Each structure stands twice: as C-alpha cells, then as structure tokens.
Amino acid sequence: MSVLDIAKGMGITLSKLFQKPVTVSYPEERATLQPRFRGRHVLTRHPAQRPGELGLEKCIGCSLCAAACPAYAIYVEAAENDPQHPTSPGERYAKVYEINMLRCIFCGLCEEACPTGAVVLGNEFEMADFRYRDLVYGKEDMLVGVDGSLPQRREAARSGKPVRVGFKVPEGARPELEGVEYPT
C-alpha cells in the first residue's frame, strides 16, 4: 500500500465531512416513516354521533383477529352491550382486548381479518419496556386517542411533559387509521 492510497482514502473521508449526513440522530430527531409502516395496533372508533362525544368502538369482540393471528398474540373476551350505553354498535363488544406486543410479529393479518376495520396497525414502534406484563397492551393502550406507548406515557407522567413520539409520517396516517394523527 502506497502513501498515495492512504491519501485517496483520507480524501474520501474529508469529502464526506462536508456532505449532509444520511443518519438521523434519533431520538432527538424524529425518524421518518412511510404510512404503510406496520407498528403498534390502534383500535379505531366510529365517528361521534354528537360533537364532543366519543364515537362507538368499531370492535365487536368477534375474535377473528385472534383466530387469524399466527403468533397467538391476541386475546379477546366479549360481553353484551348495555342497550342504553352501548360501547359498540350491535349486541356485542370487546370487554377485554389484549395484544401481547412481545409475541406480535406485526404481520397485519389481524387487520385483514377484522370485519369492521376496528384493529388497524399504526406506525408507532417505541414500545421497549422492562416487564413482560407491561407489554401486554389492553384496550386502554390501543384505543384511538391514546398518545404513545405505555413506557412513553409513563415517562410523560413522571416528567409532566406531553408524550413525544420519535417518528414522523410526512404523508400523514393511512385513511384506515381513522382519527389518528401523527407528526408530519
């Protein structure tokens, strides 16, 4: 190897020093995601009947997502709607809806199986946590309107600052993700 070769190599290094970096300094900077990125599930709602109210949940607790799940990550337990204060349209709603995010392989088959379009794979991916049971997400963690993942909300509750997600979706969330907004 000659001195010339070393100088060539150093020249490349030097030229890259003045170019815009391709890396993103996540998490200070937001990572850019495509809308079709498959992340944490969102349980969507129907549009509200009256402004200011929450719409009915689309999920009817039919367990077809659990049947389609190749990783056996979903557990659904249904119950009967109170006719005066229904949770979902029809007779049946999901009383328990849990997805074990450690088991989930984010394949999207649950979304395909869902007859009402209730479970949709969102774009959130920052779910790293310490305890197994904190990675079993319930309805409280997945219904539309819940910001961030469980560790992010825990951090926000501790620091008193709003939840900050570490990604952006320049094209906006998919239309299937009814009511979900991500930073653009």
Tokens of 37: 């990125």
- Strand 167-168, strand 119-121: pairing: unpaired
Toward another protein, which CB reaches closer, 46 or 172? 46
* Using rule CB under 8 A, residue 64 touches another protein: yes
Measured from the CB of residue 112, what is the shortest distance to another protein in angstroms? 14
Which residue do the tokens 């997945």 mark? Answer: 142
Which C-beta is closer to another protein: that of 149 or that of 173? 149
Nearer to another protein, 129 or 176 (CB): 129
Joined together, the tokens standing for residue 167 give 């990604």
Judged by CB under 8 A, the chain residues 105 through 134 that form the site for another protein are 115-116, 130-131, 133-134
Q: For residue 87, count other CB atoms closer than 10 A to its CB.
A: 18
The answer on whether 57 is annotated among ligand-binding residues is: no
Does position 14 bind another protein by CB under 8 A?
A: no
Binding to another protein in span 131-160, by CB under 8 A: 131, 133-134, 138-140, 154-155, 157-158
The answer to whether 66 contacts another protein (rule: CB under 8 A) is yes
Cis peptide before 27 (omega within 30 of 0): yes
Residues listed for the chain: 184
User: Is 36 labeled as ligand-binding?
Assistant: no
Cβ nearer to another protein, comparing 11 with 115: 115
CA 15 from chain center: how many Å?
39
Stretch that binds another protein, among 10-18, 90-98, 165-173, 176-184 (CB under 8 A): 90-98
Q: How far apart are CA 118 and CA 100, in angstroms?
A: 17
SS3 letters for 13-30?
HHHHHCCCCCCCCCCCCC
114 is in an annotated binding site: yes
Cα dihedral 9, 15, 19, 23 in deg (nearest 10): 20
Identity (one letter) of the amino acid at 157?
A: A
Known binding-site residue numbers for [4Fe-4S] cluster: 59, 62, 65, 69, 104, 107, 110, 114
Which residues are near another protein by CB under 8 A? Answer: 60-64, 66-67, 75, 77-80, 90-92, 95-96, 98, 115-116, 130-131, 133-134, 138-140, 154-155, 157-158
